[in-house]
Amino acid sequence: MSAHITVANTSVDMPVKEGTIGPSVIDIGKLYGQTGMFTYDPGFTSTASCESKITYIDGDEGILLYRGYPIEQLAEHCDFLETCYLLLYGELPTAAQKTDFDYRITRHTMVHEQMMRFFQGFRRDAHPMAVLTASVGALSAFYHDSTDISDPTQRMIASMRMIAKIPTLAAMAYKYSIGQPFVYPMNSLDYTSNFLRMCFAVPCEEYKVNPIVARALDRIFILHADHEQNASTSTVRLAGSSGANPFACIAAGVACLWGPAHGGANEAALKMLQEIGSVDRIPEYIKRAKDKNDPFRLMGFGHRVYKNYDPRAKIMQKTTHEVLGELGIKDDPLLDVAMELERIALSDDYFVEKKLYPNIDFYSGITLKAMGFPTSMFTVLFALARTVGWIAQWKEMIEDPSQRIGRPRQLYIGERKRDYIAVNQR
Ligand code: CMC
């Protein structure tokens, strides 16, 4: 199939590429050469930037697949490292492969001891996302032996190091912000239990991981592990397309994720629920969200791709109830506000017509707060989980023989050529 495009008096045939599922794409790579025109698509709403075999989203149906497997099945049956293996290698591991993968990740959990001193340079009140962005970038200075991206072995070692060390760095960012000593990883624990211990253990007391909380957090990590070509993933791919070292590329992804329209939304959603405070104030906020002259938006609602219930939000809502139940939190006013807000928004014409449904961030904040994480850590947890997705996408790009440096074009609307005027004549 091809697409016949007529621009002014020129007609060209552009090839149409078919995916396994989902919409086909018109390959416009030769459009400029043949017509002298670019396409214009700010926000990339109609533009595929790459081919990928990793994640598929059907936003209208509310479907999310990792390597073909529905997120609901993975969240129920897998652990996070099994999901990491699937995203990185394309297949679920056998029992032996899983044991070997867990072992390899576990061996890399410690960070270089000098990283401790790197942390001391931050102000105590620095946002943990600022600290995480910098410390992930700093890994490139500590692990020179895994930054040659043309070497597949080094690529894999860098990938393992990032998946293994990001929980350690995330926990250190938290510990530093509250003035407690860093807790070294404990390799006898599973990935998520180890992370919980690094966050919440103190040297003067025994710390026992609650297995229900650990499983819930592990599931939250699975839900956040990848989401195809979102803003932070596209940032990682673009940074990586120049051949930049992998740690720096992931740091770019962390920086992009921090924005409130992306990963920062979980923090913003919880703050919003706290600000609303009680069920009787909801109508006032719904009114503000609908007012074109008010910049306020319902945080945790709406998505660029999902025009249906975000499948992750459904699992997240169930997890929220499980965690609150396990921790004996019976009457959480924030949960009451969230459930009522969801009920009202889902029946309100404005939200129905614009297909604005709760997204994953709507319930994740309440759950993470109940687990003991402060709001400033929410996006850090998202970054921890998304690291594997960024790496899988980065590797896929580097290993794609058709890969070239990413270089969008522009529609120039500035001044035409003009001559310099001396300062005394301006
Ligand atoms: N509250 C009120 N109105 C909204 C909202 C909202 N949360 N989201 C979108 N709208 C309106 C928007 O004003 C626009 O109205 P109109 O057509 O009259 O101008 C319409 O719905 C379409 O919105 P858009 O901004 O053009 O859609 P987008 O695809 O550019 O933005 C979004 C998607 C997620 C940035 C946006 O829905 C939003 O800001 N949501 C709140 C932040 C949030 O929860 N982000 C987390 C996303 S999921 C996690 C992640 O991937 O990081």
- Pocket lining: 304 vs ligand 1, CB cutoff 6 Å: yes
Percent of the chain with pLDDT over 90: 83
The pLDDT of 64-85, averaged and rounded, is: 97
Average pLDDT in the chain: 94
Alpha helices in 115-210 (DSSP H): 115-120, 128-142, 152-178, 191-200
Query: Which residues on adjacent β-strands are paired with residue 25?
Result: 17
Q: How far apart are CA 375 and CA 378, in angstroms?
A: 5
Sheet containing 63-66: order of strands: 55-58, 63-66, 69-70
- In this predicted structure, the answer to whether residue 173 has a pLDDT above a threshold of 90 is yes
Q: How far apart are CA 200 and CA 197, in angstroms?
A: 5
pLDDT in tens, 8-39: 888 999 999 999 999 999 999 999 999 999 99
Residue 198 and residue 167 in contact, taking contact as beta carbons nearer than 8 Å: yes
Of ligand 1's atoms, which has the minimum distance to the CA of residue 227?
51
For ligand 1, atom 2, name the residue with the nearest CA.
Answer: 297
* Residues annotated as catalytic (active site), given as ranges: 303, 361
Per-state percent for the chain, helix, strand, coil, to nearest 5:
55, 5, 40
- Pocket lining: 133 vs ligand 1, CB cutoff 6 Å: no
Percent of the chain with pLDDT over 70: 100
Of ligand 1's atoms, which has the minimum distance to the CA of residue 297?
1
Residue matched to tokens 């139940």: 325
For ligand 1, atom 20, name the residue with the nearest CA.
Answer: 354
Among 28-42, 238-252, 258-272, where is mean pLDDT lowest? 258-272
The closest of 267, 268, 233 to 252, measured between CA atoms, is 233
- Pocket lining: 289 vs ligand 1, CB cutoff 6 Å: yes
The closest of 196, 214, 213 to 324, measured between CA atoms, is 213
- In this predicted structure, the answer to whether residue 47 has a pLDDT above a threshold of 90 is yes
Q: What is the pLDDT of residue 329?
A: 85
pLDDT in tens, 184-232: 999 999 999 999 999 999 999 999 999 999 999 999 999 999 999 999 9
Residue 368 and residue 319 in contact, taking contact as beta carbons nearer than 8 Å: no
**Which two tokens mark 381?**
């947890």
| DSSP conformation letters of 37-106 | -----GGGTT------SSEEEETTTTEEEETTEEHHHHHHH--HHHHHHHHHHSSPPPHHHHHHHHHHHH
Q: What's the CA-to-centroid distance between 280 and ligand 1, angstroms?
A: 24
Among 38-47, 52-61, 259-268, 343-352, where is mean pLDDT lowest? 259-268
pLDDT in tens, 392-406: 999 999 999 988 999
Of ligand 1's atoms, which has the minimum distance to the CA of residue 362?
44
What's the distance, CA 2 to chain centroid?
35
Provide the Cα torsion 212, 216, 218, 224; round to 10°: 180
- Pocket lining: 300 vs ligand 1, CB cutoff 6 Å: yes
